[in-house]
Structures are given as structure tokens and as C-alpha cells.
Amino acid sequence: MLNVFDYERLARELLPPPVWDYIAAGADDEVTLAENRRAFERIALRPRVLVDVSLTDIATVLLGEAVAAPIMIAPTAMHGAICADGEIATAQAAGRAGVVMVAAARSNRTIEEIAAAATAPIWFQLYQFTERERTLALVRRAEAMGCRALVLTVDAPRWGRKERSLRTEAEFEWPYAGNMAGLPAPTSKTIDGAPVTWADVDWLQSKTQLPLVLKGITSGEDAAIAVARGVAAITVSNHGGRQLDGTIASLDALPEVVAHAGGRCEIYLDGGIRRGTDVLKALSLGAHAVMVGRPVLWGLATAGADGAGNVLQLLKAELKRAMALAGRPTLADMDRSALI
């Protein structure tokens, strides 16, 4: 298992087809899914030489907390369909790597179970329910469990149509989303996406002292509105190509968002990270950190917490090697001059 792609190939062999299709699928023709990768391949690195790179340092601070690397585990659902221990294994992997795990609201294990297994910072991802009391109940649980931030997904007013997954999803008995137990009853049985507006952002900020991260912004205009409302961070993301097909790749959207944010909040990049050189490119374009989704799931599928932890360690080692070869021994050395 020399790289992340080795884990991808093995995970595809090991997982039931419906679970693999659920993980791998993008929306419609999967154009944006592919573009997330091609965006990294279009950018070339511009190395410097004769630089002292005997020591490379990838430790950083995210939302005021020290972490071992500018790499986070993105919020993804249904870990219990991939690994028997589900998100408990993911939390253990994050702890071994010293990185942030963003636990999904629709995780199979509850936030209480995830937090109990965590030895690194846990952030909690939210979808906005139609009934605000349901959302608030999850917020209070996240606060009680010591979560350090809330990550509100804002790009899902409707669910993208993931045709690859739709063809096979009925063939598998999916585990229950544990965090949904014990919430106030929904007023509607039909949930098509998670509509959220700027009024919901304002409401959520008025209800908690936790830093708020908006995940799913790809335009400068929305970034400017977000920072004007005082959000702590923005995650540039097209939902892994799973929502609106044909939209801009996350990496291509990053410079515009960084420019409009103007240094007033932290910026993260989600989508397409497969190599340490990808992390270097994102950081050089202004991201403070990246989120990694599917590769962590591939690691879970192959060897549970050990597999997911190995994926994270591979990415960390590749980042350090790329920094040394690029003549950029610290994160502060990375800027647009590192790229062509």
C-alpha cells in the first residue's frame, strides 16, 4: 500500500457494490467529480533549490488549536456500512494522526460515542433541519461532548442525483444514522436536501458560542457575505462532486474565495485530495488546511482504524517530502510563487 490509490483499488474489491457505489458516486454524469482531480493535475509546481530543508514542519493551528498537520477528515456519512466500528474507528485514526475529524450529523455512531473515542479535536457537521429545534438539539449534544466547532453544510438545498448509487442502493441494508435518535420528531416524512439561508446562519450563530464553519462555498460573493457575518472559517467545496454536476472544481474556486475573504477567516479546501502534492498546491493557493473524504473511507474499508490512520500518515509523509523537494520547508513558505 504505497499510496492512496492502492487503498482505493483494494476498497473497491472488498466492499459490497452498493456501498462502493455510494462512496464513489458523483452527481449525474460525474463531470465535477472528475474535475476535482483534473484541477490538481493542471497546476504545476515551481520548486526552489539550494534551500535548507533538513527540517520540514507541517504542524499548524486551526481555529486556535494546535494540530499535527493541515489535513482534516471531511464529514462523510455511513462509516458503519464500511467498517464494523464505524466512526469510532475514524476517530481513532484521527487521534493517531493528530488531525481534526469532522464528525457527520448522519454518522452511524452517535457523537457521544465518537467523542469518547477521540484523542484529537472533533468538530461536528450539521445539516439545517426544517425544524430548528431538531438542529438545536444536535448543537447542544455537540457542545456537551466537547466539539470544538460546528461545520454547517450549505450546498444541499436539494440532494444531487447520484445515478451510480441509485442503481444499487436498494440492494443493501444500510445502518441507522445514530445521531438521529432522540431528536424532536420531524414535521414531515419527506426530506429532499437541507435548505439553509443566511437567516439560518445568523440564527445558528446566535444560539452557540462554538466557531462556525460554512462548508460548500465556491463563489467570492458568498465568501464576502460569510465573512461579513463573522463566520470563523469557510470550506471551499462542491460536496465531492455529489451535488450540482458541471460546477467549478473546488481548487479552481479557491483563489476567488480567498481573495474575497481577505484574510478575515480561515479557508479550507475540500475535494479531490489524493497526494501530498495536492495539499501543497491548495495551501499555496491560500488554504489553511484541506479536508479528505473518500481516501479515509478507503482506508476504513481495508483495515479499519489502522487503514484510515495509514492513509492519513501517507498524506502527511507525502506533504513533508513535497515541501522539501519544492524548497518550502515550512507552511509559511508556501504561497502562489510555489506554483506555475
Tell me the CATH number at 147: 3.20.20.70
pLDDT given for residue 70 in this prediction: 98
pLDDT given for residue 6 in this prediction: 98
Task: Please report whether residue 311 resides in a domain.
Answer: yes
- Asked whether the beta carbons of 269 and 258 are under 8 A apart, the reply is no
pLDDT given for residue 136 in this prediction: 96
Question: Which regions of the chain are under pLDDT 70?
Answer: 189-193
Task: Please report whether residue 288 resides in a domain.
Answer: yes
Task: Please report whether residue 310 resides in a domain.
Answer: yes
pLDDT given for residue 195 in this prediction: 81
Task: Please report whether residue 237 resides in a domain.
Answer: yes
What is the distance between the alpha carbons of residues 207 and 164, in angstroms, rounded to a whole number?
39
Looking at the DSSP assignment, which residues form a beta bridge with residue 333?
A: none
Q: Which of 258, 248, 303, 266 is nearest to 60 (CA)?
A: 266
Task: Please report whether residue 337 resides in a domain.
Answer: no
State the total domains in the chain: 1
Task: Please report whether residue 226 resides in a domain.
Answer: yes
Domain ranges, residue 44: 4-183+217-331
Task: Please report whether residue 202 resides in a domain.
Answer: no
Task: Please report whether residue 131 resides in a domain.
Answer: yes
- 174 DSSP 8-state letter: P
Active-site residue set: 239
pLDDT given for residue 193 in this prediction: 66
What is the distance between the alpha carbons of residues 4 and 172, in angstroms, rounded to a whole number?
26
Q: Tell me the angle at which helices 132-144 and 198-207 cross, rounded to the nearest 10 degrees.
A: 40
